[in-house]
């Protein structure tokens, strides 16, 4: 395995993070069997060498200098954040695993972190049952101005964050029955609140620009709100899809994908709330849907007779949903069903013609040019977590003992 060079900066940061970049081939296990892997990390490297496309493999061992047990690992725009069971946070560059910063959570992580333009925000719950919001600079790893902030209410769902605020699903408090609350990243004070018609068990979600906030209530009502620092004068739109919503919506630059207990998957227009398409999936949808997508350039009619076509950027991709009937995949723009796997688990990524899904201990590589049939599989039982990568072809995985691995397409 060929690795990445360790810079002097990386070596200076290395002891502080207890992080080792592995930049050479696996070491021999013993004298008589030089090719035998000696750790879960080396087993993982052997597995990722079987990808059907050329890739650079990189590895980081958080437990190299002291034991590390991973409680979670999260993919951000430019970074990878790993959280240990002890509450230690390690932030590394997602392209080469070069260490960026380390920090410590005030209490146990309650829900996955939210990424804003400048900060990563964590929702924590301490031993007394109190919830806290902790914000950490993505650039330096330092605490935000008012961080951590103790919340005067119990959280019903996770968080979303933009440049100015953190938005949290709320169970309310004796003097405040809002189902959505905001907290200022600048002052740490409570901002505005909103009372939806149903409780929020699904996490609030922001569009990629951080301007539109999507909340989905357990009464089947999806609401779009302006994600401003001040209270909005009115909603952008409200759409009732019926049933009960438990899974967090997936939000793209143009779409809102949400499923309900009636077993219907809806694709809504982000800006109007109108229904682009819907699909009945026979059984309730209780987990969040997924989107693997990105912008593409297409030719469009200019509307002027005799004029050349114009180019425009459109967001295209694949929409996924899972219930007891299996994993479903649809074209994001048209809603056309592309495949249904009765034993399918979840999507991982797409790279070129390949769409990767996980089924138990296996990764399946589906050929989009051949009806999404499984053309290649690798056993990945050594990994405790394989991250879904919605926008690019890098594969990230980790083991419980603190090993991070990545396969970066060449």
Per-residue pLDDT for the chain (410 aa), expressed as one digit of tens each?
A: 333 233 323 322 333 333 333 333 333 334 445 566 678 889 999 999 999 999 999 999 987 766 678 889 999 999 999 999 889 999 999 999 999 999 999 999 999 999 999 999 999 999 999 999 999 999 999 998 889 999 999 999 999 999 999 999 999 776 778 999 999 998 999 999 999 999 999 999 999 999 999 999 999 999 999 999 999 999 999 999 999 999 999 999 999 999 999 999 999 999 999 999 999 999 999 999 999 999 888 777 767 777 777 788 889 999 999 999 999 999 999 999 999 999 888 999 999 999 999 999 999 999 999 999 999 999 999 999 999 999 899 999 999 888 999 999 99
Q: Are 191 and 227 in contact (CB under 8 A)?
A: no
pLDDT score, position 36: 64
3-state secondary structure of 13: helix
d(CA 295, CA 311): 12
Residue 289 contacts residue 259 (beta carbons within 8 Å): yes
**pLDDT for position 3:** 31
3-state secondary structure of 359: strand
Distance between CA atoms of 273 and 237, rounded to whole angstroms? Answer: 6
Reading the block at residue 164, the tokens are 């100015």
Helix and strand counts by DSSP (H, E) for the chain: 2, 34
Helix or strand or coil: residue 191? strand
Give bridge partners of residue 290 from the DSSP assignment. 320
Peptide bond just before 153 cis, omega within 30 deg: no
**Whether 223 contacts 196, CB under 8 Å:** yes
Rounded CA-CA distance 154/129 in Å is: 8
Whole-prediction pTM: 0.86
pLDDT score recorded for residue 65: 66
Q: What is the model's pLDDT at position 174?
A: 66
Residue 233 tokens, joined: 């004068």
All structural domains of the chain with their residue ranges? 1-74+93-100
Reading phi first (left if > 0) and then psi (alpha if -120 to 50, else beta), residue 335 is in left
The CB density around residue 66, as the number of other CB atoms within 10 Å, is 9
């Amino acid at each position: 395995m060929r690795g990445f060079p360790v810079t002097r900066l990386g070596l200076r940061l290395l002891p502080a993070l207890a992080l080792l970049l592995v930049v050479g081939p696996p070491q021999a296990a013993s004298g008589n069997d030089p090719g035998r892997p000696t750790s879960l990390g080396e087993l993982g490297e052997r597995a990722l060498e079987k990808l059907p496309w050329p890739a650079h493999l990189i590895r980081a061992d958080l437990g190299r200098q002291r034991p590390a047990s991973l409680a979670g690992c999260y993919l951000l725009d430019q970074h990878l954040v790993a959280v240990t069971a002890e509450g230690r946070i390690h932030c590394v560059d997602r392209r080469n695993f070069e260490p960026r910063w380390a920090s410590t959570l005030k209490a146990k992580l309650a829900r996955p972190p939210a990424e804003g333009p400048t900060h990563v925000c964590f929702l924590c719950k301490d031993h007394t049952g109190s919830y806290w919001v902790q914000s950490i600079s993505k650039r330096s790893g330092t605490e935000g101005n008012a961080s951590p902030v103790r919340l005067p209410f119990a959280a019903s769902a996770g968080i979303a964050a933009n440049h100015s605020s953190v938005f949290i699903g709320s169970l309310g408090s004796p003097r405040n029955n809002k189902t959505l609350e905001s907290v200022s990243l600048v002052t740490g004070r409570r901002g505005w609140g909103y009372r939806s018609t149903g409780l929020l068990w699904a996490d609030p979600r922001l569009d990629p620009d951080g301007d539109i906030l999507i909340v989905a209530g357990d009464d089947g009502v999806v609401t779009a709100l302006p994600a401003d620092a001040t209270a909005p004068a009115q909603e952008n739109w409200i759409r009732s899809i019926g049933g009960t919503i438990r899974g967090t919506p997936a939000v793209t630059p143009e779409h809102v994908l949400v499923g309900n207990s009636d077993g219907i998957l809806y694709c809504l227009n982000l800006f109007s709330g109108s229904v682009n398409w819907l699909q009945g999936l026979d059984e309730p949808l209780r987990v969040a849907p997924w989107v693997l997508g990105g912008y593409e350039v297409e030719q469009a009619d200019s509307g002027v007779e005799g004029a050349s076509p114009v180019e425009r950027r459109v967001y295209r991709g694949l929409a996924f949903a899972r219930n007891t009937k299996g994993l479903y995949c649809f074209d994001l723009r048209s809603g056309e069903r592309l495949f249904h796997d009765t034993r399918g688990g979840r999507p991982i990524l797409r790279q070129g013609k390949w769409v990767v899904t996980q089924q138990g201990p296996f990764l399946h590589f589906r050929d989009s040019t051949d009806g999404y049939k499984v053309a290649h599989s690798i056993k990945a039982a050594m990994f405790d977590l394989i991250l879904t990568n919605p926008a690019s072809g890098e594969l990230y995985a980790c083991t419980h003992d603190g090993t991070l691995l990545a396969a970066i397409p060449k």
